[in-house]
Each structure stands twice: as C-alpha cells, then as structure tokens.
Amino acid sequence: MRVGIPRALLYYQYYPAWKTFFEELGAEVVVSPPTTQAMLAEGSARVVADTCLPVKVFLGHVLSLVDKCDRIFIPAVRSVEKKVYNCSKFLGLPDMTKAVIPEAPPLLEVDIDVNEGKSRLYQSIYAMGRSINWNPFKVRQAGLAAWQAYLDYRELMSGSKLTPPEALAGMYGTAEKEPEVTRTGPARVKGTVALIGHPYLIYDEYINHRLIRRLEQSGNRIVTPEMVATPELKSAIAEITGGAYWTYEEEVVGAGGHYLQSGADGVIGIMAFGCGPDSLMMDMVRRHSVGLGSTPFMCLTLEEHTAEAGVVTRLEAFTDMIYRRKKKDRAVCV
Ligand code: SF4
C-alpha cells in the first residue's frame, strides 16, 4: 500500500513519526513535492476565498497526490495537550478534504485528542494501524517506533539548532526533496533575526518568498522556534499569557517571548491573513515587545496575493533598522 502525506500544515512537526509508523507497518510513503504556484491555484479553486492560505496550500498538496497513492493520511488533530485546543481548521481537515476533493483516494484518518484520555487515543491510532496491517504486535511496535522518531527529531532540532528541513535532510538525505537543505548561513553576520510562527509558513519557500534564504544572503543569522527547548518556550508563554490556550502556541508566543528577551537582534512574526488564533497570539507578542522596549518586532502577514517586492522591502527596512540599533548600542558602550 502506498500512503500519501501532503507536505503542508503539520508535516514539518510530525513527518518522521508518520513515516516511521507507516513504514513499520509495511506501507510505502509518498510525499507531495514542494509547493508550486499551480498547487496553490488548484487548492484555492476548491474552497471559498476566506479560507486561510495554509489550508488552500494543503488542499493543493492533496490534489497533487490523488493519482500517486492508495490512501492519503489526514489526521484530525484536536488537542495534543490537556485543555489546550487546536484551530478549528485542523479539526475538520479530513471532512473538508473529502467534501472538496471527492476524487481523492480513501483517507487514513485518526483523531488526536488527549482530552479524551490515553486509552481512547491509543485505540484511535491502533484502529488506523490495523487498517494497514492486521498484526496487533506490529501496530504496537510501529506506534512505539513512531513516538521515538518524533522525540529524536525534536532533540535533533533543539540540540543541534536545526530547522525542520535541515533536520529532515539530515535524517533522510535528499530523497525527501527538501528545498532548503543547502542553508549555509551568511559569511559575515550583521545581525540575528528570529522567525516565529507556524512551520508551514516559515518553511514553505513558495508562500513566504524564500524568506530564510533572503535574510541569510543579506547577512543575517536565522533562529527559529524549533531551536528553543520546550521548557523555555513554556516559561515564556507563562510569562506572557499565564498559560497556553492554543495548540502550537509555543511556536508563536513561546518563541516570541523567548527571542524578545535573548538570542536575537530582531523578531519577525509570520502569520497568514485571516488566521484567528494567530492574530490574537501575534498581538500578545507585539504588546509584550512594546512593554519590554528592547528587541524590535515586526509582523509579516502572508496571503496568496502577497507580492515578493513588498516582502523584500519590509525585510530590508526591518533589518536596516536593527543594524542601526546595534551600531548605536556599540557607540554608547564605547
Ligand atoms: S492556525 Fe491559522 S493559519 Fe493555521 S490552519 Fe488555523 S486559521 Fe489557518
């Protein structure tokens, strides 16, 4: 059986776990290629205009897999932490996909909701595993191996300060066709810029107009949420909001709070136009940056009509400002 995995939304967080799980069960994993203009246009054509950009991209990836696999894996991730909730788009992703892409092969669905208790969660994963391999011991073994692959992946990123595409390239080589594996960093570092936001915005080079490469080519070192250990992200959230409400708040509020206080000369928040959770979370980070008054913060909102020239202009203006601040600080110290 060939299992298709769209290279979008939660792919950057969980791909090693998913790949391990399906391969342990004897399936072949097929990943959609990096996002293209055609994929975005095809995904957008299936939904109303108000749908957020990452979901349109996701549907484009599903469409690109339609004739390349026997099943497509689309989890409904409701909650991965008790009393912390995910955006409604993730909850309805399998149903939305079936409704707007009726020609898609059957989906492999699983409900991830830790609020329902561990046994319900295990049953849900087990039921999906049994639909691929009847052997219950194999399914259990695949689940354990997937969890270990996830932990190794997180450890690799935070321990070695790697972005998800770099870590994936390190783990699986060029076979995964990661677009950003040749990141070498600038020859002379003029400043350190932290990018905060969801991985499906930060690492999709098509929708963010090659943000990381551009910043590095103009002399910046880039740091991202995955490079910060979980306890530090959680303590930053506790300081800013008192406790997480949204799943993946660590990528926005946690990383924002951390980098505003240490490790960066400037922080850029990346969000999608029309995203409810992010508009709240980014505003909290912005307010926190104003309160601290130490590290500059800029929010960059992406949508399908975002012009490359507009992104470049805003990046240049922001980085020029942080270089000037650095120079001024050095002059005061002297
Ligand atoms: S969190 Fe925002 S960008 Fe992500 S899927 Fe939900 S609405 Fe879209």
Measured by CA distance, the residue closest to atom 2 of ligand 1 is 275
* CA of 253 relative to ligand 1 center, distance in Å: 15
Amino acid 146: pLDDT: 96
Strand pairing category for 107-108 and 220-223: unpaired
**Average pLDDT in the chain:** 90
* SS3 category, 332: helix
pLDDT tens-place string over residues 84-93: 888 889 989 9
pLDDT tens-place string over residues 82-127: 888 888 899 899 999 999 999 999 999 999 988 888 899 999 999 9
What are the CA-CA distances from residue 128 to residues 18, 52, 102, 125, 149 (Å)? 12, 28, 21, 5, 19
* SS3 category, 132: coil
Q: Is 55 in the pocket of ligand 1 (CB under 6 A)?
A: yes
Q: Is 277 in the pocket of ligand 1 (CB under 6 A)?
A: yes
Q: Which of 12, 85, 198 to mutate to test the pocket of ligand 1 (most atoms within 8 A of CB)?
A: 198
Amino acid 248: pLDDT: 82
How many residues does this entry show for the chain? 334
Structure token digits, residue 85: 């909730």
Amino acid 294: pLDDT: 85
Q: Is 167 in the pocket of ligand 1 (CB under 6 A)?
A: no
CATH code of the domain made up of 2-159: 3.40.50.11890
- Angular region, 153: left φ>0, alpha ψ -120 to 50, beta rest: alpha
Q: Is 213 in the pocket of ligand 1 (CB under 6 A)?
A: no
Enumerate the domain spans of the chain.
2-159, 186-328
Rounded to 5 degrees, φ, ψ at 245 are: -110, -40
Residue tagged 């509020």 (tokens): 253
Amino acid 334: pLDDT: 44
Q: Is 54 in the pocket of ligand 1 (CB under 6 A)?
A: yes
Amino acid 182: pLDDT: 47
The answer to whether the CB of 86 falls within 8 A of the CB of 77 is yes
* CA of 23 relative to ligand 1 center, distance in Å: 29
- The reported pTM is 0.91
Q: Which of 13, 53, 77, 87 to mutate to test the pocket of ligand 1 (most atoms within 8 A of CB)?
A: 87
* Ranges of the chain with pLDDT below 70: 174-187, 330-334
* CA of 54 relative to ligand 1 center, distance in Å: 7
Amino acid 174: pLDDT: 58
Q: Is 17 in the pocket of ligand 1 (CB under 6 A)?
A: no
The answer to whether the CB of 153 falls within 8 A of the CB of 17 is yes
Q: Describe the strand order of the beta sheet including 107-108 as a list of residue ranges.
A: 28-31, 2-5, 71-73, 107-108
Q: Is 197 in the pocket of ligand 1 (CB under 6 A)?
A: no
Q: Is 281 in the pocket of ligand 1 (CB under 6 A)?
A: no
Measured by CA distance, the residue closest to atom 8 of ligand 1 is 52
**Burial status of residue 214 (CB atoms within 10 A of its CB: 0-12, 13-18, 19 or more):** middle
Amino acid 175: pLDDT: 47
Fold adopted by 186-328: Rossmann fold (3.40.50)
Q: Is 128 in the pocket of ligand 1 (CB under 6 A)?
A: no
Q: Is 272 in the pocket of ligand 1 (CB under 6 A)?
A: yes
pLDDT tens-place string over residues 279-332: 999 999 999 999 998 899 999 999 888 788 888 999 999 999 998 888 777 665
Amino acid 227: pLDDT: 92
* CA of 48 relative to ligand 1 center, distance in Å: 15
* SS3 category, 224: coil
Amino acid 185: pLDDT: 61
* Same CATH fold assignment for domains 2-159 and 186-328: yes
Minimum-distance ligand 1 atom for the alpha carbon of 201:
3
Measured by CA distance, the residue closest to atom 6 of ligand 1 is 87
